Chains A and B, each alone.
Chain A
Amino acid sequence: MSGLEDLYREIILDHYRSPRNRGDLPCPPAHKGEGFNPLCGDDVVLYLLADGGVIADVKIGGNGCSISQASASMMSCAIMGKTFAEARAINEAFKNILSIPDVDSNGQDVGAGETGANQEVSLGDLQALQGVMKFPVRIKCATLGWNVLTDSLDELDSC
């Protein structure tokens, strides 16, 4: 059927069936963030272990649909070992392909900075999630984990 192949790309289904970095981390020293989609009940738990402004380890918990869980799994791979600034740039680049401004829960833009700052960011496999665009209701699923990342980095930065 038209569109479904765009949504359920093989790489997405692979991350759904075999989620990467699944589990938890002791808190502290790790930081725990959680996000819910109240409409469908999906949740994503994000554990970040920070080491001097670098994401030293990432684990993902929670339950939900293929898109929310695969997206979180792919995110964990993309941000592992990256600096906070790099992780923010990836976050912004990812949300740009879904045409969503990177805002915090108050609607404030907390992106990496000037427009175009993330043009150098290579999204790799994450590009596969662009097919979600054809299914607007599922964009919230795809961005669930990434919104947790935004809030978690904000909290870590303010520590």
Chain B
Amino acid sequence: MTTTDAAAAADAHTAAADAHTPAASPVPAPLDGAKLKADFPLLTREINGQPIVYLDSAATSQKPHSVIAAMSDYYDRYNANVHRSAYFIAEQATTQTELARQKVRRFIGAAHTEEIIFTKNATEALNLVVNSWGRTNLANGDAVLLSLLEHHSNIVPWHILSAERNLELRWIPVGDDFQLDLSNLDELLEGVKVVAISAMSNVLGTLPPVSAIAEAAHERGAVVVCDACQFVPNRVCDVASLGADFVAFSGHKMCGPTGIGVLWGRRELLEEMPPFLGGGEMILDVSTEGFLPNTLPWKFEAGTPPIAEMVGLGAAVDYLSGVGMEAIAAYEEDLVAYAQKTLKDKFGDDIAIHGPADGPRGGSISFAYRDIHPHDVSQILDQYGVCVRAGHHCAKPLMKHLGAQATARASLYLYNTREDIDCLAEALSKASEIF
């Protein structure tokens, strides 16, 4: 079926990539972004008469044909509600969505399938943790430790609860090297009930040492919430070794559709937590007096779930697994190093990259180019088919720390190539001609 097709297609591409050794590259990459590009229908488009160069995957990734086909297949052949009826297509829909849950479990190394909660997106997953776990376990004046790298999704829910509970929000600072400054971690962790940290910055590409922070937090009895929105699509994610108690991510940044996200949580914590949203599917029984919540994971999945999106996410996991997450991570490390070198070599001091200069880092390259406003940079790049994000990237506390109102951000994924980076550099040089 479609999922098998997806895996087969991805396998075929990996095999093709293995067979093809790029002559120009000094270090042969086991993955060929140019070949993978062909799996993504949108990447064959032209913008302003030029092939699209999509460099905004940190905002949302493009979708391979196999994901789009799997979702179409659901609507074409077995569109029915799940967990409700005994007829054939309803059972098929239920089977396929629960199969997607198992695929996600394997993909992130979770011990139990019922630890995989489907949500609307990572934002909803984090709000679920704050509203259910936080509301139950945090008392007036309790301390929460966040990092300055956080996306608004991992800040604002805590602010909202804080307005009610007068929480003390503490912040792990970011150093001049764009890494978390952990020199005062012991002090910061003193009396903290929960630590909420990103596993990969969507602005800087920084990879915080989540497992080390989690270990220190656990020694003090704190619970660790990890925003893995950028991490899961781009790195091998094993929740056991990551060490957090909750991990949130979105489907649409990992080749899947919008409208689906995942919360993974330790079963013993999830079992103790009250429901977040109430409605259908999340109950065992309802009477005029009250209700009995459903078992995990459905306790946290009120209402008809995003069925096509669950199926699509399953297909996305198949696709990424077929290519291989280790290969994807290695390919992106190589590509981001090439991008940093290319931009520095070409523009020197005219470009300032906000992010770790070397060593392992994610594929988000935020930069300031001369004194041209990021909004203008992205507008000019668009004329050359190059798509980059301009703005505060939903991380205003970090932007304030950087002293930047906005940055331009090019972010890479498995389908990007060195040629894409060359196009970015060429288009940037055109911006100088206007300003």
Contacts and interface: CB of A to CB of B under 8 A. Distances in A.
A1 B434 CA distance: 11
Interface string A39-50: 111110000000
A64 B396 CA distance: 15
Contacts of B375: 40, 42, 64-67, 138, 141
A39 B391 contact: yes
Given A13-B435, A65-B373, A41 B48 contact: no
Interface stretch (B184-192, B318-326, B376-384, B415-423): B376-384
Interface in B383-424: 383-384, 390-392, 396, 399, 405-406
Contacts of B434: 4, 8, 13
A65 B376 contact: yes
Contact of A1 (B374, B376, B384): B384
Contact of B391 (A2, A4, A13, A40): A40
Contact of A7 (B379, B390, B396, B430): B379
Nearest to B430: A1
Contacts of B380: 4
A41 B376 contact: no
16 contacts: A1-B48, A4-B383, A4-B434, A7-B379, A39-B391, A40-B375, A40-B390, A40-B391, A40-B406, A41-B396, A41-B405, A41-B406, A65-B375, A65-B376, A67-B375, A135-B379
A66 B376 contact: yes
A4 B379 CA distance: 9
A2 B48 contact: yes
A124 interface: no
**How many B residues are at the interface, by size bracket?**
10 to 19
A99 B155 CA distance: 38
Contacts of A66: 373, 375-376, 435
A135 B396 CA distance: 26
Contacts, number: 52
A38 B336 CA distance: 29
Nearest to A63: B405
A52 interface: no
A66 B435 CA distance: 10
Main secondary structure of the interface of A (DSSP, over half): loop
A3 interface: yes
A3 B383 contact: yes
A3 B380 CA distance: 10
Can you list the 9 inter-chain pairs with the closest CB atoms, starting with the nearest?
A: A65-B375, A65-B373, A1-B383, A41-B406, A41-B405, A41-B392, A40-B391, A66-B376, A40-B375
Nearest to B406: A41
A145 to B, nearest CB: 15
Interface of A: 1-4, 7-8, 13, 39-43, 63-67, 135, 138, 141
A67 to B, nearest CB: 8
A66 B373 CA distance: 7
Interface in B7-52: 48
Nearest to A141: B375
A65 B405 CA distance: 10
Given A41-B406, A65-B373, 15 more contacts: A1-B383, A2-B383, A4-B434, A7-B379, A40-B374, A40-B390, A40-B391, A41-B392, A41-B396, A42-B375, A43-B405, A64-B373, A65-B375, A67-B376, A141-B375
B391 to A, nearest CB: 5
Contacts of B405: 41-43, 63-64
A66 B390 CA distance: 14
Contact of B379 (A13, A41, A43, A138): A138
Contacts of B399: 41
A3 B49 CA distance: 13
A3 B373 CA distance: 19
B373, B376, B380 — most chain A CB neighbours (10 Å): B373
A39 B399 CA distance: 14
A138 B382 CA distance: 13
A66 B378 CA distance: 12
Contacts of A63: 405
A135 B376 CA distance: 12
A76 to B, nearest CB: 19
Contacts of A67: 375-376
B354 to A, nearest CB: 15
Nearest to B377: A65
Interface string B143-164: 0000000000000000000000
